[in-house]
Amino acid sequence: MKLVYLFVICLFIASCQEPAIKSYKQTKEGIVVNTEDGTLGIYPLADNAVRIKFLKDTLGSLPELIFPTEIPAPVFEVDENSSAIEVKVKNLRVIIDKKTGNISYADPSGKIFLSEKAGSRTLTVDSIMGEKCYKVQQTFDSPEDESLFGLGQFQDGNYNLKGISRRLTQVNSQIALPFIYSSKGYGLLWHQYGLTDFNPADNFILLNKEEQAEGNEEIVEVTTTAGTQRVARNQSLYTGVFNAPQDGEYAVFLDLGDMGNRHFVTIDGKAIFDQTNMWLPPTAGTLVQLTAGEHQIQLICKSDNQPKLSWKLKDNTTTFRSPVAKMLDYVVFYGPSADDVIASYRNLSGNAPMFPLWAYGFWQCRERYSSGKQLVETVKEFRRRELPLDVIVQDWQYWGSRGWGVPQFDETNYPAPSKFISELHNLGAHFNISIWSNPDKDSEIGKEYVEKGRFIPGTKWLDYFNPATRREYWNTLKVNMFDNGVDSWWMDAVEPENDALEGEMTYAGIGDFYRLTYPYFVSKAVYEGQRKTSSDKRVCILTRSAFPGQQRYGIINWSGDIGGDWDTYKRQIVAGLNYTITGFPYWTTDIGGFFRPGPSQYTDEKNQELLTRWFQWGVFNPIFRVHGYMSETEPWKYGETVEENMRKMMNLRYQLIPYIYSEAWQVTKNGSTMMRPLVMDYREDADAVGQAYEYLFGKSLLVAPVTEAGVTETDVYLPRGGKWYDFWTGKEFDGGQTVKTAAPLDKIPLFIKAGSIIPVGPKVQYATEKKWDKLEIRIYEGADGEFTLYEDESDNYNYEKGAYSTIRFSWDNANKTLEIGDREGVFEGMLNERNFAVSLNGQSQMVAYEGEKVVVRF
């Protein structure tokens, strides 16, 4: 009787509780809801996207960086009943629970795909450098079978991010992009510019510094922004103990406090972190299965690091936390396909422009070429050996005695730069040059910047938050570089290096509010400057860091100063896939690693094997580029066998350029993605979603790079839903199975999806050497298919004015017919007549094409 009485009392108390929602009003932008905790804004952005803002008192606002133009709200409806307020757009429903204030998100049929965890929306008033701010946090429910991807480029090796703890900061080899895509079909942008913790682990383990590890007096040379420095790799040992409250999977988070050179942690003698490199990010996360009870910890790191180790029992939630913010702010996108999510994100934040045709060829880079003459002679040798090349890269120190990072050529080794750059152009090559964000303050140019207040006070970093700095920096590049014929830019150390905005005051305000955004402004300076200067060259920027919205500034990211071993190579595959699913389509890596083993790399067969496998994978990166610290990276430096294996792969890349360039057009026009984690196309195939080392390159090619030494055959999972063809043998397989495939050292496992139409071009030494007047069109039967061949003037912005052409190929599998549609569009230099060699199952038909529809029957 007493229990019944208590139950009735509890029900009465609950019924008397004030509802979280007090009132709301509708505006043309959305609805504004007054809650017991603050003001909640629900703002539709597109037919499948909505933005959520929550604040208590207005603390001022930050400028809109990700969504730079005013976005008119789509058509939306607001419905209310006794328990909820609902905001509806065409492909998304937002449901606000009146009693709790909790928000859920549903598809048009009403099926919920995402919910805030009840009571998890928090704002805590704080201050930074005397200015008020909020600590903001939001937790979302995450079903047991959900997989999460994105957050940018990280070196911790994690593919599925569900339950992983991460800290989003911008440092060498780590690109923080607060965007995730779920296997449940939604995307979520955490709209913050400052440091963000993902699934923060707040249970800290007491660490005791024991002794220095062996070898602590080793001296090495490393690349720093002040040049090559001799640095001691002192390391120390820490120990600790912690108690796991129950059996389960735990997120463990390592924070060194600053860049390190070793991530090494053991639990009960088993390594859970084990990575060594000249530079490593300050933080890393992992998941580990533990039993309840006491566990012993050992940790090794640099002696000047201040390590912290924390843990969190993994659960079915996802949390974002930002300690310095003006409001809680996030955006939900619903696809369910990743293409629809990313296309919507790019439509709102800016589409990725086309790169010139030559950018999709091979980039030859090393640390470093030492003269204009050496650059020219290297390209000549590539041509003599019939090794295709489109870009040659000048790394740092071309400035000689002019001062560190100054974008001016040393006249002794680079006299008359316009002359040697013209020679490169005459050889069919293009020139990319390294530029830095911290020119020497004592240089001639640096002194001018200092006098005008163009540096962030008290730092060595230019203040790109200031529009005047951006204009002047571009003018410096224009006068010294662009006017001499430089074709593209390699923007190093743009984080700024080592998360340097913390505690600084920028032109825009306190750096902590903008901690992730510096690379955005650096790219903006060069892109907008070059676009105003000329429309004849497409902007092409290789840069080390990024922030949402930056994709509209013509950027390619690369994975930073990574090591050169098998483990690091594998981590780059995962890093690249999680980067491209955040909406940034162009990415590359230092093929072979930046830090390499020294002179032995040229003759050591084990290193040659690693380099060959890495190079094969690089062919199927959006941008194909080699690099290496204190290394001569030209193929012939590694012997005849390596050179020949590389030549085969380079020829394949160039023959696929009509396919690649057409896929690039889909990136620009329709928001597509070239390097595609399998969750993008096979979201409902759990086996495909879990493949960390396979992906689609474009919509047709399944790439399965070899990631271990000594492999001559390997297992490849073929996704469900159709047939697949071995690219090399033509053998047909059913999807939904794992197949054993040959993997000789001169080949990378490749499969083609049934229904694919692949245009194959001629062998060339550079992308524009030959016209596409005799393309092979390969058909892979087994399903209907289509492909659109895209062509334009190769290197200007006339395509934005409609100067391009497309030809649509359609395969009817039942009738075994290929329809080549009418050509649409015109541009200067367009082929009016051409021949296609259409091939199917070893049969080939020559087809004359003059721009009008042709039907080919088999």
Active site residues: 492, 495, 561
Tell how strand 362-364 and strand 196-198 pair up.
Answer: unpaired
DSSP string, 508-569: TEEGGGGTTTHHHHHHHHHHHHHHHH-SSS---EEES---TTGGGG-EEEE--S-B-SHHHH
Give a three-class secondary structure readout of 279-310: EECCEEEEEEEECCEEEEEEEEEECCCCCEEE
Which is it for the CA torsion 15, 17, 18, 20, positive or negative? negative
**Overall residue count recorded for the chain in this entry:** 858
| Residue 705: strand, helix, or coil | coil
| Residue 630: strand, helix, or coil | coil
Q: How far is CA 228 from the centre of its chain?
A: 28
Q: Which value, to the nearest 10 degrees, does the dihedral of the CA atoms of residues 629, 630, 635, 637 take?
A: -150
Contacts of 105 (CB under 8 A, 6+ apart): 50, 92, 93, 94, 95, 112, 113, 114, 115, 186, 332, 334
CA–CA gap between residue 819 and residue 824 (Å, rounded): 15
- Residue pair 187/347 in contact (Cβ under 8 Å)? The answer is no
Nearest-Å Rg of the Cα atoms of the chain is: 28
Q: Which of 631, 627, 616 is nearest to 490 (CA)?
A: 627
Give a three-class secondary structure readout of 353-383: CCCCHHHHCEEECCECCCCHHHHHHHHHHHH
CA–CA gap between residue 481 and residue 474 (Å, rounded): 10
Q: How far is CA 210 from the centre of its chain?
A: 39
- Residue pair 336/185 in contact (Cβ under 8 Å)? The answer is yes
Indicate the helix (H) or strand (E) that contains 88: strand 84-89
- Residue pair 650/612 in contact (Cβ under 8 Å)? The answer is no
Q: Which of 558, 534, 584 is nearest to 350 (CA)?
A: 584
Q: Which of 186, 545, 507, 178 is nearest to 328 (CA)?
A: 178
- Residue pair 471/531 in contact (Cβ under 8 Å)? The answer is no
| Cβ-based burial of 728 (10 A; exposed 0-12, middle 13-18, buried ≥19) | middle
| Residue 28: strand, helix, or coil | coil
Output DSSP code: residue 71.
-
Contacts of 762 (CB under 8 A, 6+ apart): 655, 770, 774
Look-up: residue for tokens 């005799």?
A: 774
- Residue pair 375/412 in contact (Cβ under 8 Å)? The answer is no
Output DSSP code: residue 68.
-
Give a three-class secondary structure readout of 136-177: EEEEEECCCCCCEEEEEECCCCCCCCCCCCEEECCECCEEEE
CA–CA gap between residue 485 and residue 290 (Å, rounded): 59
